[in-house]
A and B are shown apart, each in its own frame.
Chain A
Amino acid sequence: MASFLGTQINPKSFHRSQLKFYFILLPIGLFMLLPVLYVVSQAFKPLSELFLFPPRFFVSNPTLDNFARLFRTASGTGVPMTRYFFNSIIITGLTILLTILITLATGYALSKKHFRSKKALFSINQTALMFVATAVAIPRYLVVTSLGLTNSFAAHIIPYLAMPVGLFLVKQFIDQVPDELIEAAKIDGANDWHIITKIIGPLVKPALATVAILSFQFIWNSTESSNIYVIDETKKTFAFYMSTLTAASAGPAGVGIAAAAGLVMFIPNLVIFIVMQGNVMDTMSHSGIK
């Protein structure tokens, strides 16, 4: 076997020939993490170390002061940070839930149902993978306004529910489910609702988890809706608060708070991804565009 160089893909055991890859990958991996480590260390620095010159990378006397100040500080308009945080949690939770439901229903119909415009719909969606929302921010704003969504919680959610990448991934995954399974269920008297909740849903869990992660990463980090669609400060999101923090606070004290806020923003991202990593890789092996 060892004579085949190519068969070393996804090796089961360690071999000296792998060392060269470790030599390249380990430093790069570390390098990629450096800025993240920087935020972590910055978030735990006391004021004296934040002001320190020359600046030191790692914290020597870690403290939770920055977090305490983050929770105490209110934005310029007097809205406490916890309010933004709470808003973000509600908005993100609802968006993920609705996105999953809509994507699953549509993915099922596109994959297993027979209707005339099926192929056309899927290829339109595939073209929309290239859609860059920021390019058409203005017309989107006009649509949101004419629907009367401006300045409501719904403005954070509804414009982002149709997720072409999500539909694409879920549809590809449902294609793997054998038709016989669904036929059998139909003979047993199951309707579409049963098929989706009892058969398709559980079988395509990895794809749904991936959709959840992508939707989470987008909504949690997005400031667009707070910047453009919502005026009322009490209805804005944590990512928005984060962006105002950094704009206003140039001094090192502000940097500490910003780093603490950054960490609060980053941890959920990381935890969710680690928990669902296996699912994501599973989905990705079916994710190709043919």
Chain B
Amino acid sequence: MMAENPTVDKKAGGFKGFFDTKVKPAWEKVDKDKVSTLLLLAPYIILFTLFIVIPVLVAMGLSFTYFNVIEMPQFAKMLGFYNYIMIITQDEVFLRYVLPNTLKYAIITGPGGYALSFLMAWMLSQIQSTPRKFLALALYTPSMLGGVLTGVIFRTLFSGDESGYINAIFLDLGIVNTPIDFLQSGDYLMSIMIFVTLWSSMGIGFLSMLAGILNVNREMYEAAYIDGIKNRLQEIFYITIPSMKPQMLFGAVMAIVGAFNAGGIGVALSGSNPTPQYAGQLIVNHIDDYGFIRYEMGYAAALSVILLIIILLFSRVAYRLFGERDR
């Protein structure tokens, strides 16, 4: 114990003595490789826990409470499943607009965008490499614009008066007599949202699938033709897709995440939350509405949990379809 104080213990050579006799042997016994591994992993694990794991857990916790930001959440007065029960039984907006909207939007833009990406990637794989690069870039470009810029572009294109390009074209062609109020009327908002999302859906998953198709071994096709495959459709279903299942799964997961992440587009297009007549209201917007506009965070957290469950279910389907069975 004396050794800990370097000025008192002269015999052991002070602090250096302590270091040599106690710390060094202890340090030598430690598995350096383990320490190093831990150091390598620590930053990611800490950040991952703080900003991904904890928020999900907190959302689950908050969803059982009443929390309005000003007072701390009242865990003592646990609401139990009250918020969930309210959502399912009392929240008319959620049941009539938000949930059907979200499902419609997600089913069309998720699997739809995914199928579109695969089709485009497959067609691109059928042409030469140089034009392919340019066309792939053209298809990928919309996905890198980001929500803000996409919102700006389509807000001006679909602007509700005659200065909007789509309206100008329609008026010019005589399709309509008065400009259509695309973004504020509620009749068209959902379709425009789906259109814009599909337009920007060829992102990283698309690139992954393109690489996957290009990597399929040529000999597989030759063998398949000898075995009696007749046309390209059979070729796609029997050879191409089974040979690139990992990329297909990656693409699917990215498509699902993309579809739910792009949920802000309705608000970006119409410029208001809630969107006009709740036409483009998705769960993501509903969460923002309750969380950051009405400050009913407990309720918003319950909505978040429902959204996460929906995403998880969608992903499970993707894993079922494309996951390797033998894992």
A→B interface (CB under 8 Å): 4-14, 18, 21-22, 24-26, 28-30, 32-33, 35-36, 38-39, 42, 53-55, 57, 102-103, 105-106, 108-110, 113, 115, 121, 125, 128-140, 142-143, 147, 158-162, 164-165, 167, 191-192, 214, 217, 220-223, 228, 239, 242-243, 246-247, 252, 255, 258-259, 262, 265-266, 269-270, 273-274, 277, 280-282, 284-285, 287-290
**9-residue interface stretch from B54-62, B74-82, B90-98:** B54-62
Closest 9 CB pairs of A and B: A288-B246, A221-B146, A6-B221, A139-B58, A284-B211, A29-B138, A162-B47, A139-B55, A106-B44
B194 within 8 A of A: no
Interface 1/0 per residue, B146-158 and A, CB below 8 Å: 1111011111110
| A109 close to B56 (CB less than 8 A) | no
B115 within 8 A of A: no
Return chain B residues, CB-CB under 8 Å to A142: 55, 58
| B146 close to A57 (CB less than 8 A) | no
| B51 close to A159 (CB less than 8 A) | yes
Name the one of A14, A32, A115, A252 contacting B37, with C-beta atoms under 8 angstroms.
A115
| A109 close to B41 (CB less than 8 A) | yes
Return chain A residues, CB-CB under 8 Å to B224: 6
Min CB distance, A156 to chain B, in Å? Answer: 13
Min CB distance, B245 to chain A, in Å? Answer: 7
Given A6-B232, A21-B123: A130 and B311 interface contact (C-beta under 8 Å): yes
Return chain B residues, CB-CB under 8 Å to A284: 204, 207-208, 210-212, 247
Residue from A135, A159, A255 having most chain B Cβ neighbours under 10 A: A135
**Closest chain B residue to A126 by CB distance?**
B253
Min CB distance, B297 to chain A, in Å? Answer: 5
* Pairs A–B under 8 Å by Cβ, sample size 13: A5-B231, A9-B214, A11-B127, A21-B127, A109-B40, A121-B45, A132-B311, A136-B308, A140-B51, A147-B50, A259-B152, A265-B148, A273-B137
B34 within 8 A of A: yes
Name the one of A108, A132, A242 contacting B307, with C-beta atoms under 8 angstroms.
A132
Min CB distance, B149 to chain A, in Å? Answer: 5
Min CB distance, B72 to chain A, in Å? Answer: 11
Return chain A residues, CB-CB under 8 Å to B211: 281-282, 284-285, 287
| A32 close to B199 (CB less than 8 A) | yes
Min CB distance, B174 to chain A, in Å? Answer: 13
Count CB-based A-B contacts (< 8 Å): 306
Name the one of B125, B131, B247, B288 contacting A9, with C-beta atoms under 8 angstroms.
B125
A57 to B172, CA, bound (A): 14
| B218 close to A7 (CB less than 8 A) | yes
Count chain B residues whose beta carbon lies closer than 8 angstroms to a beta carbon of A. 115
A75 to B168, CA, bound (A): 31
A35 to B120, CA, bound (A): 19
Q: Which of B283-327 contact A (CB under 8 A)?
A: 283-284, 287-288, 291-292, 297, 300-301, 304, 307-308, 311-312, 315, 323-324, 327
Return chain A residues, CB-CB under 8 Å to B120: 25, 28
**Closest chain B residue to A280 by CB distance?**
B207
Return chain B residues, CB-CB under 8 Å to A285: 211-212, 214-215, 247
| A130 close to B288 (CB less than 8 A) | no
**9-residue interface stretch from B7-15, B185-193, B257-265:** B257-265
Min CB distance, B260 to chain A, in Å? Answer: 5
Name the one of B57, B146, B214 contacting A10, with C-beta atoms under 8 angstroms.
B214
| B40 close to A108 (CB less than 8 A) | yes
Return chain B residues, CB-CB under 8 Å to A281: 207, 210-211
Interface 1/0 per residue, B105-126 and A, CB below 8 Å: 0000000000000001001111
Min CB distance, B188 to chain A, in Å? Answer: 17
